[in-house]
């Protein structure tokens, strides 16, 4: 059970958590489509926590798009979040191909470390919310709590991680509902 009163930062994976994912990669702002309820959920999280993103973007390393297109996707996300009075406090991404051997690609915890350092937080003050086993293993490696969402790759990941003691929620919106109802008790 996560003690939300001790948390400073909620780190979100992007594809499959905030926006719909695709096996063919999200390669343009037009393909970046928010999951229903995710943007108001981010805005609700902003009221209590710093909210950051840690995302593998190997489509850059694979040559499917470049960093200017990634910036345009994030500008679209920021504009849509602004309509809900929401924002992202920090975005960390790994642009590398999986074969590059970088130290920033999840499940390596480099992006989580950078986010925690920026906001002067210990791993105990961070929750990572994702939909993949690499997100889970990244959280384990960093030493923070993890929430598996069943959006994106979440259902497949739940099968892969069967037997692990994981907090599971249907969606980012449902996670926010659970956090808010815990507060009222």
| 102 labelled ligand-binding | yes
| 97 labelled ligand-binding | no
The one catalytic residue among 3, 13, 71, 82 = 13
Axis-axis angle for helices 67-82, 38-46 (nearest 10): 80
**Can you say how many angstroms the Cα of residue 118 is from the centroid of all Cα atoms in its chain?**
17
Alpha helices in the chain (DSSP H): 38-46, 58-61, 67-82, 110-118, 133-142, 154-160, 172-184
C-beta separation of 62 from 99 below 8 A: no
| 3 labelled ligand-binding | no
The one catalytic residue among 3, 15, 85, 135 = 15
Give the gyration radius of the chain's Cα atoms. 15
| 84 labelled ligand-binding | no
| 15 labelled ligand-binding | yes
Strand order, beta sheet including 126-130: 90-94, 50-56, 9-12, 126-130, 145-149, 167-169
User: What is the chain's length?
Assistant: 185
Cis peptide bond upstream of 107, omega within 30: yes
| 89 labelled ligand-binding | no
| 13 labelled ligand-binding | yes
Task: Count CA atoms closer than 13 A to 116's CA, side-chain side.
Answer: 18
The yes-or-no answer on residue 15 being catalytic is yes
Q: Write out the catalytic residue numbers.
A: 13, 15
Binding residues for Mg(2+): 13, 15, 131
Binding residues: 13, 15, 94, 96, 102, 104, 131
Binding residues for Zn(2+): 94, 96, 102, 104
């Amino acid at each position: 059970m996560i003690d939300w009163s001790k948390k400073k930062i909620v780190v979100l994976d992007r594809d499959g958590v905030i926006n719909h994912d695709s096996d063919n990669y999200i390669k343009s702002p037009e393909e970046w489509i928010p999951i229903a309820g995710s943007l108001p959920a981010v805005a609700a999280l902003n009221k209590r926590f710093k909210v950051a993103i840690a995302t593998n973007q190997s489509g850059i390393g694979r040559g499917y798009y470049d960093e200017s297109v990634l910036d345009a996707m994030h500008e679209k996300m920021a504009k849509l979040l602004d309509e809900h009075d929401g924002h992202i406090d920090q975005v960390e991404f790994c642009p590398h191909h999986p074969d590059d051997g970088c130290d920033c690609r999840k499940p390596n915890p480099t992006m989580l470390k950078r986010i925690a350092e920026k906001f002067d937080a210990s791993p105990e003050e961070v929750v990572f919310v994702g939909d993949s086993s690499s997100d889970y293993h990244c959280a384990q490696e960093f030493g923070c709590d993890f929430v598996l969402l069943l959006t994106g790759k979440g259902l497949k990941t739940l099968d892969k991680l069967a037997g692990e003691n994981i907090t599971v929620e249907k969606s980012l919106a449902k996670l926010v509902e659970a956090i808010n109802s815990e507060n009222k008790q």
